């Protein structure tokens, strides 16, 4: 499957947007979390600053999000995991409301009740969960609904390689194959489940091989490359859309930051992240665009400025939005 010029431009711009978003967050997140502004004796204060709590960033993993979402429509469902920003951005989640949510603001997607691991945007059918592996059965449910409603919408479950050792993953694969559901399971293998290397957690090298146990195609994408993901996902999404059932894809990708911000990363060889950045998938895709005559220096600069403006506007919106009223904690337990 060949990407159209429009798809190439879209993927490139989205990757830049994701990277800009995550790099910005890596700085904003640290505001007021480091000495000397925090409790004496602490090296870091997770609950301080304008964006408190855990923060899992996806810089380096952009190809997975854009390579899959390039094939999706607004009425397709995406269920992400605890590291969700790249999927959300690629699924066109409202950037302002998403950012405000991370600042805990009343204008956030969840009015400040969810935070960065719990982003819900029903307008584009995006949700995610902080529980590893939990999204896979939920994507099956969305796919089941599409089937029952007679639409050709599909559902995508994104999760890390660590999730493939959860029971939920295996139950979901069996259900999806048994019921021939229009769902695609996408495993992001970023080599680490927090600190534990894949080889120390997973009995086989490629989770794609696990597909055979459920009678579905399993595809391994060995390069952290948007077009490679695009090709694999294109076939899987088309297969799901025409009613031929699920596919399992594993993508070998790179995590540039720690598991969470503040992670000392003592489990990683020194300089690994720096080395990974030598194989940045964004300039690689940029080179493809240039070779096709779709990009030059001026267009690149204009695009980056546009994206940067959009991202900055979202952070400004989040930062400047009001907090919810404290007693609003009592609202939204139940729908009226």
Partner 1 sequence: MSTNTTTRRLTMAQAISEATAQEMARDPRVFVMGEDVGKYGGIFSATTGLLDQFGPERVMDTPISETGFMGAALGAAAEGLRPISELMFVDFFGVCFDQIYNHIAKNHYMSGGACRYPLVITTGIGGGYNDAAQHSQCLYSIFAHVPGLKVVVPSNAYDAKGLMTTAIRDDNPVVFLYHKGIMGLSWMSYFEGSTNEVPEEQYTIPFGQARVVREGSDVTIVTLSQMVQKSVLAADRLAAEGISAEVLDLRTLVPLDRAAVLKSVQRTGRLLVADEDYLSFGLSGEIAALVAENLDTLRLKAPVRRLAVPDVPIPFSRPLEQFAIPQVDNIVASVRGLMTFKLD
Looking at the chain, the number of H-run helices and the number of E-run strands are 11, 8
User: Quick check: 172 binds partner 1 (CB under 8 A)?
Assistant: yes
Binds partner 1 (CB under 8 A): choice among 9, 113, 290, 310: 113
Binds partner 1 (CB under 8 A): choice among 58, 134, 227, 232: 134
Binds partner 1 (CB under 8 A): choice among 13, 23, 92, 171: 171
Q: Which of residues 178 and 299 has its CB atom nearest to partner 1 in the complex?
A: 178
Indicate the Cα dihedral angle 133, 236, 231, 224, nearest 10°.
10
Indicate the Cα dihedral angle 322, 324, 325, 329, nearest 10°.
-170
User: Quick check: 127 binds partner 1 (CB under 8 A)?
Assistant: yes
Indicate the Cα dihedral angle 57, 60, 64, 70, nearest 10°.
100
User: Quick check: 298 binds partner 1 (CB under 8 A)?
Assistant: no
Least separation in angstroms between CB 300 and partner 1: 36
Q: 36: cis peptide before it, omega within 30°?
A: yes
Instruction: Name the segment binding partner 1 (CB under 8 A); options: 48-56, 103-111, 195-203, 255-263.
Output: 103-111
User: Quick check: 137 binds partner 1 (CB under 8 A)?
Assistant: yes
Q: Which residue reads 């089941």 in tokens?
A: 144
How far is it, in rounded angstroms, from Cα 264 to Cα 41?
17
How far is it, in rounded angstroms, from Cα 21 to Cα 116?
13
User: Cβ atoms within 10 A of the Cβ of 274, count?
Assistant: 9
Q: Which residue reads 């900055």 in tokens?
A: 312
**Residues in Cβ contact with 219 at an 8 Å cutoff, skipping those fewer than 6 apart:** 208, 211, 232, 235, 236, 247, 248, 249, 250
Number of residues in contact with partner 1, rule: CB under 8 A? 45
Least separation in angstroms between CB 131 and partner 1: 5
User: Quick check: 77 binds partner 1 (CB under 8 A)?
Assistant: yes
User: Quick check: 253 binds partner 1 (CB under 8 A)?
Assistant: no
User: Quick check: 229 binds partner 1 (CB under 8 A)?
Assistant: no
Binds partner 1 (CB under 8 A): choice among 25, 109, 187, 236: 109
Q: Which of residues 113 and 304 has its CB atom nearest to partner 1 in the complex?
A: 113
User: Quick check: 178 binds partner 1 (CB under 8 A)?
Assistant: yes
- The strand pairing partners of 183, in sequence order, are 155
**Residues in Cβ contact with 23 at an 8 Å cutoff, skipping those fewer than 6 apart:** 59
Residue ranges in contact with partner 1 by CB under 8 A: 77, 79, 108-114, 118, 120-122, 125, 127, 129, 131, 134, 136-146, 148-149, 155, 167-168, 171-172, 174-175, 178, 331-336
């Amino acid at each position: 499957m060949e990407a159209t010029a429009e798809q190439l431009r879209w993927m490139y711009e989205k990757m830049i947007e994701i990277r800009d978003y995550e790099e910005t967050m890596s700085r904003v997140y640290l505001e007021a979390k480091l000495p000397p502004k925090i409790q004496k004796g602490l090296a870091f204060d997770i609950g301080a600053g304008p964006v408190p709590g855990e923060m899992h960033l996806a810089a380096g993993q952009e190809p997975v999000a854009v390579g899959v979402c390039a094939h999706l429509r607004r009425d397709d469902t995406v269920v992400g995991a605890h590291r969700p920003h790249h999927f959300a951005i690629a699924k066109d989640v409202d950037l302002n409301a998403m950012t405000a949510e991370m600042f805990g603001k009343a204008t956030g997607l969840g009015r400040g009740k969810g935070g960065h691991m719990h982003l819900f945007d029903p307008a584009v059918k995006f949700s995610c969960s902080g529980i590893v592996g939990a999204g896979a059965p939920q994507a099956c449910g969305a796919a089941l609904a599409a089937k029952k409603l007679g639409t050709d919408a599909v559902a995508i479950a994104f999760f890390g390689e660590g999730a493939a050792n959860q029971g939920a993953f295996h139950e979901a694969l069996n259900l999806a194959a048994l019921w021939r559901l229009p769902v695609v399971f996408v495993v992001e293998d970023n080599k680490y489940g927090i600190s534990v290397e894949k080889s120390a957690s997973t009995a086989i090298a490629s989770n794609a091989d696990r597909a055979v146990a459920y009678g579905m195609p399993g595809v391994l994408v060995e390069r952290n490359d948007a077009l490679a993901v695009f090709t694999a996902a294109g076939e899987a999404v088309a297969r799901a859309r025409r009613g031929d059932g699920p596919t399992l894809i594993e993508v070998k990708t790179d995590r540039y930051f720690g598991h969470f911000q503040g992670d000392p990363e003592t489990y990683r060889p020194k300089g690994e992240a720096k080395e990974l950045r030598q194989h940045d998938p964004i300039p690689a895709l940029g080179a493809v665009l240039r070779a096709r005559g779709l990009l030059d220096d001026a267009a690149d600069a204009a695009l980056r400025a546009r994206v940067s403006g959009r991202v900055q506007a979202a952070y400004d919106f989040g930062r400047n939005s009001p907090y919810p009223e404290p007693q609003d904690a009592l609202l939204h337990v139940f729908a009226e």
